[in-house]
Structure 1
Amino acid sequence: MDNLLKSELFKLKKDRSFRKLTLALMIIAALFPLIASINGTEQLSVNEIFLTIIGRNNYVLKLIPCLLAGYFIASEYSLGTMKSIVSSGNSRTRIYISKLMVFSFGAIIFSVILPIGMTGTGAILSQFNDMPDLKYFAQIIIFTMLYAAAFASIMMALATVFTDSGKTIGLLILIFLLFDGVMFMLASKITLFEYIYNYSVFKLSYDIININALESIEVFKLAIVPIVTYVIFGLVGVFVFLKKEIK
């Protein structure tokens, strides 16, 4: 298992899509506060920058890893790399779990670049003016990482089904863009869908920013749902991978 993890981490490090996406997010994280400080008439508020990006970080959580899923996961099927990995003697369960762990790690890195990068850059440019509460900042980052991993488990399970990189990217982006709207429409008409949506990572990810205002039971739900989602879709992915004919 250790060798599999090291191998996947090495591939992630060398993956051009991962490196380019990471670099792009880092550039955005540096430029946004810089432009705001140049154009603004008042001193930058680091807390405002942090709250602004957390409110919009859902797009990074749900969409950017879709690109990595296509290039890092699905492309291995079309290129024949997966066949070589499977024939190496390692069990399919271990192969899938190691890939899921590394892919989740990549998704987590994407998810925290903007919050941490923009906050850090804003703090330097504003000389630490109006910093966010440290406890709140830490909670937001931890929950962001949890939800990034949960979304990654869903993406990888679907990437295992689709296998083609182009198809995977297109369908994943379509699914993650439309899911909220479709579920909201169904939830307004059917109680079961309302219950499913209210307890889904898609809905709860929007509540991360309001964690200070949530009661203990709501915070527990906010924490347990992504963990359960990660486990469930991890098992679903393993099952699909075990049954899949790899050419």
Structure 2
Amino acid sequence: MNNLIKAELFKLRKDRVFRTLLLILAASAVAFPFMFYFDNLSDGDSQTPAIEYLSEALTGNGFIIKFGVSILAGFFIANEYSTGVMKTIASSGSSRGRLFLAKLTGFSVGGMLLSLVFPVILMLTASLLSGFGQLPEEASAYYIVRVAGLTLLYAASFSAVAALFATMLTESGKSIGFSIIFFMMIDWILNVIGSYIPFFKTLYDYSIFKLLGGIGKWRLESGDMTAIWLVPLLTIALSGLLGYLVYRRKEIK
């Protein structure tokens, strides 16, 4: 099992799409605070501390996670069906359960790395330019650690969902297109249906799609703490199980 995971992580490091996404996000994270730094400098305005950049970055990072895992799944998972790589892997002698788990692990690591690049590099760059700043009084002492942990966890949960779609569709274009449309539309769809059927409103309220927007809050209420940690874990388990069942029954050509 360890060798299978190592093989997937090796392919992840060599994946051009993954490295391109990392480079684009890193360059954007560096350019963004520099742009505002020189703009404020020319206008004579006070500089924005890094903690405020981080707060704003976490809002946009949800879109980065959704688009990032959708694109990566199309090339890292679905593309292997059309190129014949998946057929070679499936005939290697390892069980399909092990193969899928290794693939999901490697892909999830990629999704988690993509989720951290922009906010971390943005915060470091802004800290060098204008200082870190002070956390608001309502923020908990371990705010940064909590946000980092939740970002990784939600990236893994969205990766599990994207991996399920990629396994079902097996074509990179279809996988990317469907995943992006799904992630962009699911909030609206569940809200519309939920206005008529209360169950779907509750389902949305306790889904990764809504809870993702709350990971950057300065302080989480005790009632929110359980859901915001437990829901992504359940999503990973359910999506992983469904992905395995699809992969086990799929005829790989």
Residue 242 of structure 1 corresponds to 248
The secondary structure found in structure 1 opposite 2:217 is helix
CA contact (8 A) 1:105 1:149 kept: yes
Unaligned runs of 5+ residues in structure 1 are none
Choose which of 18, 40, 64 in structure 2 pairs with 1:60. Answer: 64
Question: C-alpha displacement at 1:65, in angstroms?
Answer: 1.1
Residue 173 of structure 2 corresponds to 166
Unaligned runs of 5+ residues in structure 2 are none
Instruction: Count the aligned residue pairs.
Output: 246
Choose which of 218, 223, 228 in structure 2 pairs with 1:217. Answer: 223
Q: Which amino acid aligns with 1:189?
A: Y
Q: Which amino acid aligns with 2:186?
A: F
Choose which of 170, 177, 200 in structure 1 pairs with 2:207. Answer: 200
Q: Which amino acid aligns with 1:120?
A: L
Residue 21 of structure 2 corresponds to 21
Q: Which amino acid aligns with 2:229?
A: A
Q: Percent identity?
A: 39
Choose which of 73, 78, 84 in structure 1 pairs with 2:77. Answer: 73
Question: C-alpha displacement at 1:218, in angstroms?
Answer: 1.0
> Is the aligned partner of 1:99 residue 2:106?
no
The secondary structure found in structure 2 opposite 1:101 is helix
Residue 36 of structure 1 corresponds to 36
Question: C-alpha displacement at 1:131, in angstroms?
Answer: 6.1
> Is the aligned partner of 1:182 residue 2:189?
yes
Aligned mates of 2:24, 2:238 — CA distance in 1? 32
Choose which of 133, 147, 152 in structure 2 pairs with 1:145. Answer: 152
Residue 5 of structure 2 corresponds to 5
Q: 1:28-53, CA deviations, whole angstroms, 9 ceiling, x for partnerless residues?
A: 11111111111012122111101110
CA contact (8 A) 1:46 1:131 kept: no
CA contact (8 A) 2:15 2:76 kept: yes
CA contact (8 A) 2:50 2:131 kept: no
The secondary structure found in structure 2 opposite 1:57 is helix
CA contact (8 A) 1:46 1:130 kept: no
Residue 191 of structure 1 corresponds to 198
Question: C-alpha displacement at 1:189, in angstroms?
Answer: 1.3
> Is the aligned partner of 1:110 residue 2:117?
no
Q: Which amino acid aligns with 2:167?
A: T
CA contact (8 A) 2:157 2:233 kept: yes
